[in-house]
Amino acid sequence: MSKPEMDAEIREQIIANPNLLLEDHDLMRALVGGNDEKMGGNIVDLRGIALARLEERFDRLEDTHRNVIAAAYDNLAGTNQVHRAILRMMDSQTFTAFLEDLTGDVANTLRIDAIRLVLESDEPEADPDMGPAMAVVPEGFIDDYITLGRNMPVRQITLRKFDSEGASLYGDRAGYIQSEACLKLDLGEGNRPGMLIMGSEDPQQFTAQQGTDLLTFFAEVFERVMRRWLA
């Protein structure tokens, strides 16, 4: 080991009381500057690399934190929308008012561009268009609509890009719908299944990657309300 060139007395003073050195700003700047001058272009500043990596990790953590907060606010906003829509739906005193509210206040609260109740019947009307709120369709139509005719399980909630095959269900709005949610309804013993379709002009409002918990809850409440009217 090489012998230090510093004066022995000064060296002992620094070792005995290092704060005298660390608290002297001018001296510390001179030491750091002298160290930088000695570092050539081939010398790796490990301290600088470590700090840069730490800053990158901090930035990623900050971004993740912001994303989590934003997702929490979005989820809370969605929950409040569904709750308000349900309360409005349960206020209706007649079935006619219920259907009017469905396409009016309920749709507006959920911020969707089209909503329609679809019911199966053994003898559907020659014209299945029963107005803007409801359509009557042949037996088996709902499962075929949800699966697009494919041999696959029928889920309670299906979110997807809108397929033109459903144009007849949206009427005049069909040309504007870009994504849709299909909610299959269990209307109770003795009743054929139903379906609630929600259409949006936003292609990203309903996608297969989204969670379905809130729509599942809405569908289950809607089923109970419908059973009351059908009774």
pLDDT at residue 127, as a whole number: 45
pTM: 0.65
> Confidence band (pLDDT; 50, 70, 90) for 72?
low
Q: What domains lie within the chain, and their CATH numbers?
A: 8-38 (no CATH), 64-230 (3.30.450.40)
The pLDDT, as a whole number, for residue 209 is 86
Cα separation of 192 and 174, whole Å?
26
Looking at every residue in the chain, the average pLDDT score rounds to 79
- Alpha-carbon span 211 to 37, nearest angstrom: 58
Q: What is the per-residue pLDDT across 161-183, written as a single tens digit (0 to 9) for each?
A: 987 766 778 887 788 899 999 99
- Rounded to 5°, angle at Cα 60 from 54 and 63: 140
3-state secondary structure 79-121: HHHHHHHHHHHHCCCCHHHHHHHHHHHHHHHHCCCEEEEEEEE
What is the pLDDT at residue 64? 76
Are residues 192 and 139 in contact, defined by beta-carbon separation less than 8 angstroms? yes
pLDDT in the model for residue 223: 92
Q: Is the pLDDT of residue 157 over 90?
A: yes
CA angle 58, 60, 66 (to 5 degrees): 105
From CA 197, how far away is CA 138, in angstroms rounded? 16
Could you give phi then psi for residue 151, rounded to 5 degrees?
-85, 90
More confident residue, 97 or 47: 97
Q: What is the 3-state secondary structure (H, E, C) of 172-225?
A: HHHHHCCEEEEEEECCCCCCCCEEEEEEECCCCCCCCCCCCHHHHHHHHHHHHH
HSE, CB side, 13 Å, CA atoms: give it for residue 83: 6
**What pLDDT sits at residue 129?**
47
Q: Is residue 65's pLDDT more than 60? A: yes
**Better-predicted residue by pLDDT, 199 or 61:** 199
- Mean pLDDT is highest, among 11-15, 30-34, 99-103, 125-129, for 99-103
pLDDT at 150: 86
